[in-house]
Structure 1
Amino acid sequence: MNFCIHGGLRRALASLAPAAAAGLLACTSLPASAEDLADYPSRPVRFIVPYATGGLPDTVARIVGQRLTESTGKSFVVENKPGANGVVAAQAMMGSPHDGYTFLVTDGSMMSINPSIYKDLSYEPNRDFMPVSLVATSPLFIAARPDFPANTLQEFVELAKKDGSRITYGSSGVGSSHHLTMEAMRSALDLRLDHVPFRGSGQAVPALVGKQVDLVVAALPSLSGFAQKGQAKILATNSLKRSALAPDVPAISEVIPDFNFAVTVGVLAPSGTPPQIVQKISDAVAKAVRQPEVVKQLQGLGIEPVGGSPAAYRQAIDEETRRYVGAIKAAGI
C-alpha cells in the first residue's frame, strides 16, 4: 500500500524539526496487503527503457508489455528515456514512487558494464534496483568475411594464435557486449586481434560485407541475410550453449569452458518496491514469455525467452558482472 500525508496533519508536521518532517512527509512504500495485491495493477504501469525505440530492450519491453496489458486489463506503457549511459532512465525510475507502477527494462550493460567503466554514475545497481525477472537473452555471433582463411571456430582460433597474425574485428563500440566478447576471448586464448569500433551494428556489419574488417560480432538477424547470400560466414556464438536460433553454429564455450556473453534483458524495480508486487510481475512476465506465439515472435528477432525469478535474475546479474569485470580489464578500458 502506498500512502502520503495530507491536509491538517501536513501543516502540523511543518512545526517539527526539518529532518523529521521531511522523513514523515515523504511518500512511503509499505508492503502490499492481500487486498492491494488482488487489485494490482489498478492503473497503468510504466516500463522505462534507457534507449531509443527499435533496440533490443525496447523490442522486448513492447512485446512483453502488450502481453501484460492483455492479461491484466491495464496498460503497460513503454517510455524511452535514452541518454547519459542509462542515467536518465535510472533517475526517472528512482524518482518515481516505489509502488510497483514504474519498472526499468534494460540490457545487462546498465548493471554489469557501466559501473566498471563510468566512475561517476549517479546510480548503484545493488543499492537502487531490485531484480524482477530475466526476461530474455540475445546471443551474439562472430561472422567472417567470405574469403577469410578460417571456416570454423577452431580454424579461426588456430589462425589467430599464430605469431604475426593480425586479425581485425568490428564491434558496436568500445565497452559494448560485442567488444567485450572478443576481448574476453582474446585474453583467454592469447589471440592476435585488433579492434575496430563502429557506432552500432548498422555500421559494423556493412564494414564486414565491404571487407573493411575480417570479423564482426553482431546479432543473428543482422547477419543471417548476408550469410545466406554468401557474403559472410558465421563461425561461433557467445552464449553458454549452442543457440536454438542456430544449432549448427558452435558456442565459444566449446573452446573456453563456461564462456557466456550473450546479451541479457531484464525487468528491474526501484529498491523499496513491495516484494509481493515484484513477485507478481515476475510471475506474469514468465507466463507471458512462455506463450508459444511469444516464443516464436522473440526467436524470429534473434531473442531467446527466459522468464526467470527475482532470485535467479539476481544470480545472473552477479555472474554477468564478474565476467564483464574480467573482460573490461582485458580490454584495458
Structure 2
Amino acid sequence: MNFDVKEKEVNAMNKLAGAMALIGTLAMAMPGPAAAQYPEKTVRVIVPTVPGPLDAFARAVAKQMSDKLKQPFIIDNRAGAGGNLGADMVAKAAPDGYTLLFALDTTLTVNPSLYDKMPFDVNKDFAIISVPVTYSQMLAVGPNVKASTLPELVQMAKTQKMSYASGGNGSPSHLTMAAFLSTAGVEMTHIPYKGTGASVVDVMGGQVDSVFAVVSGVWPQAKAGKLKALAVSGSTRSPSAPEIPTVAESGYPGFNASFAYVLAAPAGTPKEVLQVLAREAQAAMNSKEVQDLDRQADYTPTGLSPEESASWIRDARRRWSDVITKAKITAN
C-alpha cells in the first residue's frame, strides 16, 4: 500500500470537511433569503380603530420603520367590533410580512372573553412582534365628590350609592373600574358612554361621580381643578403625575391594571421577517420622535422581546378573563 497516497487523500478529505463546516457556519450567520430581501414593497399596517391615540402612535413608529427599511409602511384604519374586524383581516392575510396589525392589546386579551364568538383564534392566528408600550388609567372624581383619597372614595361607596363612567362596555376604563371594585369589595353603578371624552366631561359636570381614564385625558383637568385625581392603575406612578399614588400604594397591594399596544403579523410569517420587524420596531422606540410622543401620552416603553411580548399578552388575557367573568361584562 502506498501510504503517501493514502495520507494525501486523508488530508484532502479533512480540508474539504473543514471548508464545508466553514460554509455552514457562514450560512447560519447570514440572514435568510426572506430577511435579506424584505421588504421589497409597501407594507400595510392595519390599525383597527378610528384615528386617535393608537393611530398616532402607530403612525410614528411606522414612519421610523419606513425610513429605515426604505419602503412605505401605510396605515389602514379598519375599525369595528372592538378591533375584531381589522384583526381578522390580518389573521387571514398572507403570512409574508406585508400585512401587519397595530392594535390595542384588548383586541387579543379582552375580546376573547367579551365576545361570544371570535372570527379568529388569538392563540393560533398571530405572531406577536412587540408590545412596545404600556399605559395606565387614572381614577378621578368630580370636584363636588367629598373624597380626596382612594380609601375615602371606597368608604363613601360602602355607605351610599355612587356611579362611575366609562368609555363603553368592555373598554379599558370599564375593565379597570370593574377590577378595582372587585378588589375593594364595593359596588357602583356603571354609566357607559360612547368614548372616554364624553365620560370625563360628565364627571366634571357632576352627572357621574367617578371615572378611570387615560392619564392624558384626566390629569390636565385635575391640574385645572375641574377633577380630583386619586390614583393610577398601573404598578408604578405616572411619569406625568408622580405625586399621584398607585392603587396598590393606596391600600390594595398587588393591584395592577395596565394596557398596551401590540404589533403582530399573521401566524406563519417567516422567522427572519419577524426578526427584522422586531428589530426595527425597537429601533423606532429609541427615536426622539417616538420618545417625545411617549412622554406626551404617558406611555411606558417596555423593551420586551417578541417572546416576552407574547407572554405579556397571554398573562393579560388570563387576568382580564377573570375580571370579565366575575363582573359579568358583555360586549353589549
Letter paired with 1:76: F
Matched, 1:258 2:254: yes
C-alpha separation in 1, matches of 2:287 and 2:259: 21
Instruction: Kindly indicate whether the alpha-carbon contact (under 8 Å) linking 2:132 and 2:304 is maintained by their aligned counterparts in 1.
Output: yes
Question: SS of 1:111's equivalent?
Answer: helix
C-alpha separation in 2, matches of 1:245 and 1:308: 22
Matched, 1:72 2:97: no
**Residue from 92, 100, 107 that aligns with 1:110:** 107
Letter paired with 1:219: V
Question: Is the radius of gyration larger for structure 1 or structure 2?
Answer: 2
C-alpha separation in 2, matches of 1:242 and 1:33: 41
C-alpha separation in 1, matches of 2:153 and 2:55: 34
Residue by residue over 1:181-229, the C-alpha shift from the partner in whole angstroms, topping out at 9 and shown as x without a partner, is 1111111111232211111112101101110011111112212232122
Q: Which moved more, 1:308-317 or 1:251-260?
A: 251-260
C-alpha separation in 2, matches of 1:78 and 1:307: 23
Output aligned runs, 1:90-101, within 5 Å: 90-101=87-98
Matched, 1:225 2:220: yes
Change (3 A) 1:75 1:188: same
C-alpha separation in 2, matches of 1:227 and 1:325: 32
Matched, 1:37 2:35: yes
C-alpha separation in 1, matches of 2:88 and 2:181: 36
C-alpha separation in 2, matches of 1:84 and 1:309: 29
Q: Which runs of 5+ in 2 are unaligned?
A: 1-29
- The percentage of aligned residue pairs carrying the same residue is 32
Letter paired with 1:277: V
**How far 1:33 sits from its partner (Å)?**
5.9
Where does structure 1 differ by over 3 angstroms across 4 or more consecutive aligned residues?
Answer: none
Question: SS of 1:147's equivalent?
Answer: coil
Number of residue pairs the alignment of both structures matches: 299
Q: CA RMSD in A?
A: 1.7
Matched, 1:154 2:151: yes
**How far 1:57 sits from its partner (Å)?**
2.2
Instruction: Kindly indicate whether the alpha-carbon contact (under 8 Å) linking 1:283 and 1:309 is maintained by their aligned counterparts in 2.
Output: no
Question: SS of 2:297's equivalent?
Answer: coil
Change (3 A) 1:327 1:269: same
TM-score (norm 2): 0.85
Partner of residue 314, structure 1: 310
Matched, 1:57 2:57: no
Matched, 1:240 2:235: yes
Instruction: Kindly indicate whether the alpha-carbon contact (under 8 Å) linking 1:184 and 1:330 is maintained by their aligned counterparts in 2.
Output: no
Instruction: Kindly indicate whether the alpha-carbon contact (under 8 Å) linking 1:133 and 1:285 is maintained by their aligned counterparts in 2.
Output: yes
Letter paired with 1:72: L
Partner of residue 18, structure 1: none
Q: Which runs of 5+ in 1 are unaligned?
A: 1-31
Question: SS of 1:325's equivalent?
Answer: helix
Question: SS of 1:258's equivalent?
Answer: coil
**Residue from 164, 188, 193 that aligns with 1:193:** 188
Instruction: Kindly indicate whether the alpha-carbon contact (under 8 Å) linking 1:180 and 1:331 is maintained by their aligned counterparts in 2.
Output: no
C-alpha separation in 2, matches of 1:138 and 1:290: 18
Letter paired with 1:139: S
**Residue from 175, 179, 183 that aligns with 1:184:** 179
Letter paired with 2:121: E
**Residue from 249, 253, 275 that aligns with 2:244:** 249
Instruction: Kindly indicate whether the alpha-carbon contact (under 8 Å) linking 2:60 and 2:289 is maintained by their aligned counterparts in 1.
Output: no
Q: Which moved more, 1:291-300 or 1:231-240?
A: 291-300
Partner of residue 324, structure 2: 328
Partner of residue 276, structure 1: 272
C-alpha separation in 1, matches of 2:295 and 2:31: 38
C-alpha separation in 1, matches of 2:54 and 2:163: 28
C-alpha separation in 1, matches of 2:85 and 2:102: 13
